[in-house]
Copies of this chain bind each other. A is one copy, B any other.
Amino acid sequence: MEHFDFIEMKLPAKPEYVGVIRLSVSGIANRMGFTYEDIEDLKVAISEAMTNATTHAYEENEGGEVTIGFGVYADRLEVMVADHGGSFNLSDVKKQTGPYQQSESIENLREGGFGLFLIDALMDKVEIKSGYGVIVLMTKNLPTNEVGLDDDQISTTQ
């Protein structure tokens, strides 16, 4: 079986913890060797998924929690964001997903309509599963190293 490391986080489904998740994913992705640009993409995508999860929790009026799993592979990072409980109409969400179209009137633009679209645009692969809660499973590939391995690679964290 393909080897990977697994990291799991459970947090209250509250918006104040979205920033915590961003720092965590930033640490994991930096350690894996992702570029600055890719790390920024990951931060946005995971924040969007966590924001969706906290919104569901809020709508359901529950003090729920969000589970985030990171699968660290040699060539990619898989991130799973799951909220527990609360139902979710997947086809409704998919209908709302897309960039702004010139034909749409500004009045009809949805304030919260771009989250899933951004996840899809910024990650290499995205799957959404709905059942008891919602699971967003997204993958970002590490760039294949075509310049050859450089032992003395310099990198600094924030």
Contacts and interface: CB of A to CB of B under 8 A. Distances in A.
Interface of A: 5-12, 14, 16-17, 19-24, 26-28, 30-31, 157-158
Given A23-B23, A27-B23, A6 B16 contact: no
Contacts of A27: 19-24
Given A23-B157, A31-B16, A31-B17, A8 B7 contact: no
A138 to B, nearest CB: 19
Contacts of A158: 23, 158
A136 B21 CA distance: 23
A31 B18 CA distance: 10
Contacts of A30: 19
A101 B22 CA distance: 43
A16 B28 CA distance: 9
Contacts of A21: 27
